Chains A and B, each alone.
Chain A
Amino acid sequence: MSSFEDLLADDGRVEPRDEMPDDYRRTLVRQIAQHAHSEIIGMQPEGNWISRAPSLRRKAILMAKVQDEAGHGLYLYAAAETLGVDREDLLDQLHTGRQKYSSIFNYPTLTWADVGAIGWLVDGAAIVNQVPLCRCSYGPYARAMIRVCKEESFHQRQGFEILHTLSHGTPAQRAMAQDAVDRYWWPALMMFGPPDADSPHSEQSMAWGIKRFSNDELRQRFIDMTVPQAEALGLTLPDPELRWNADRGHYDSGPIDFTELFEVIKGNGPCNAQRMAHRVRAHEDGAWVREAASAYAAKHAARTREGAA
């Protein structure tokens, strides 16, 4: 196992056929799968507005964005499969609730402005989380994340643009934008996970080079980045304690109600059941199609062999 330790010490990359500790493999599978599940469940809240997008330009952008999320899920499942698991098994674990996805997607998209808030805040938070993963010690995960981050950059911008247009639009549009930001701000902060003191897996993941920064560091980075953007939008963030701290060189912020996060993780968020039902239905409704394609492939391969004989 010394080669594994040497690699990590050297900031080298671990590749699929290398020897690695079982716990490292298990942690990666769990994290990559959860990440992949988040991408594909994340298609739903935004997909919810494809049919109602208020202009054809917005409809095209949104379709492309939700499609990208399917792509990101796919890249990540592919990365997980290099660790010796099957996508089918991972999906099964998602469908039976044995693996989780990001709690943020258990919130509903009630208005068009929510599509903007998701792009700006949720994708913004995701990017802060994901950029360090491009240097993750596991090669296939890092490479998948490089691809995801490259594609993701348009997602945050289009969200910001939606909100900017709304906040400079009619009073009703402006109110819609502010309402969306009010509802998505705290859940976006919770995307960085529990505070460092309560984060059970963090320390080991840092040692393994899977994680590069702590939850609280990343959360702070996101807040510092986002506050000036909110000012540019002319929207307020729903935290009265948010103010610049010159001594720290960071924004101070109010306490996060983590009981809410744990409630949603436990399954008591507004949309948990709906998201799972949608996902499971799509999978079950597609079973006959997947079986047919396999049957056709088997028949066809058999015919080819007969033809060659």
Chain B
Amino acid sequence: MITPPSSAGLFSYVLGLADDALVSAQRLGWWISRAPQLEEDLALANIGLDQLGQARTLLTYAGEVEGAGRTEDDLAYLRDEREFRNVWLVERAQTDFGVAMARLLLFSAWQSELYAALAAGSDPTLAAIAGKAVKEVAYHLDHAAHWVVRLGDGTEESHARMQAALETEWPYVDELFGPVEGAVVDPAVLRPAVLTTVEAVLAEATLSVPQVARARGGGRHGLHTEELGYLLAEMQHLHRSHPGATW
């Protein structure tokens, strides 16, 4: 049991979870009209929409916790790079389907455990948000797992590409379990269950767990890769070009 966080701590924590979902949805949106098959365009859009929905309710809650009257859009569009709290896993471009599925597997396996814990946790608003989201991410995990298995155990080429994609994403796993200010659920306790889930999928996919050095990370403190700035520039440009306008 950890002590209840201060409102500033809780704000920062909720913001981190919101930014994870928002930035991930922004990256997934790229895939719509670019998926390997039409059916997959629909599937990825569904997942992106779920994540965006999670981001919106979490941002709204973060705004309430902060108590300064900031809306979901204020928080999404009017913060700079250093104020974003998302992990590095979600913020880098993902234009290879193998990378997208490797990342979705890791992210949704983590989100599944996280939301399940939050749903049973001490913060009633987060518990309600997580209670809804946990069903959504169960489907995301199922989707990613099915693809990782098919790509890992598909052709020689797909096996090699899927293993490479996994090596690309694996350095960012550690950050998911690092200490976070204001945490309602201690990130470290999620690690065994998440890795058990992921490793079972990799085994079925005939893939091996990468042995790679962890990335530096720092997203929870507002330290990001260079790629986040471009993502935000694109996402925020129009909104910021018309201060105070409604859309």
Contact = CB atoms under 8 A, between A and B. Distances in A.
Do A and B interact directly, with beta carbons closer than 8 Å? yes
Interface of A: 40, 43-44, 47, 50-60, 63-64, 66-67, 70-71, 73-74, 77, 87, 112, 162, 165, 169-170, 172-173, 278, 281-282, 285-296, 299
A296 B52 contact: no
B234 A169 contact: no
Interface string B40-65: 11100110110011011001000000
| Top 7 A-B residue pairs of the complex, sorted by shortest distance between their CB atoms | A286-B36, A292-B154, A292-B158, A67-B45, A289-B36, A43-B33, A70-B41
A172 B242 CA distance: 8
B206 to A, nearest CB: 10
Nearest to B44: A67
B72 A288 contact: no
Contact of A289 (B97, B238, B242): B97
Given A170-B244, A299-B153, 9 more contacts: A51-B26, A56-B73, A59-B52, A70-B32, A169-B246, A169-B247, A289-B151, A289-B158, A293-B151
A54 B41 contact: no
Contact of A60 (B32, B56, B153, B242): B56
A286 B37 contact: yes
A170 B239 CA distance: 13
Given A51-B26, A291-B155, A282 B33 contact: yes
B245 interface: yes
A63 B49 contact: yes
Contacts of B39: 74
Contacts of A282: 33-36
A51 B41 contact: no
B38 A77 contact: yes
Interface in B91-124: 97-98
Interface of B: 22, 26, 29-30, 32-42, 45-46, 48-49, 52-53, 55-56, 59, 72-73, 76-77, 97-98, 149-151, 153-155, 157-158, 161, 234-235, 237-239, 242, 244-247
A63 B33 contact: no
Contacts of A165: 246-247
Of listed A112, A165, A281, A296, residue having the most chain B CB within 10 A:
A296
A55 B73 contact: yes
Given A50-B29, A51-B29, A289-B151, A56 B38 contact: no
Given A51-B235, A63-B49, A70-B38, A173 B151 contact: no
B56 A286 contact: no
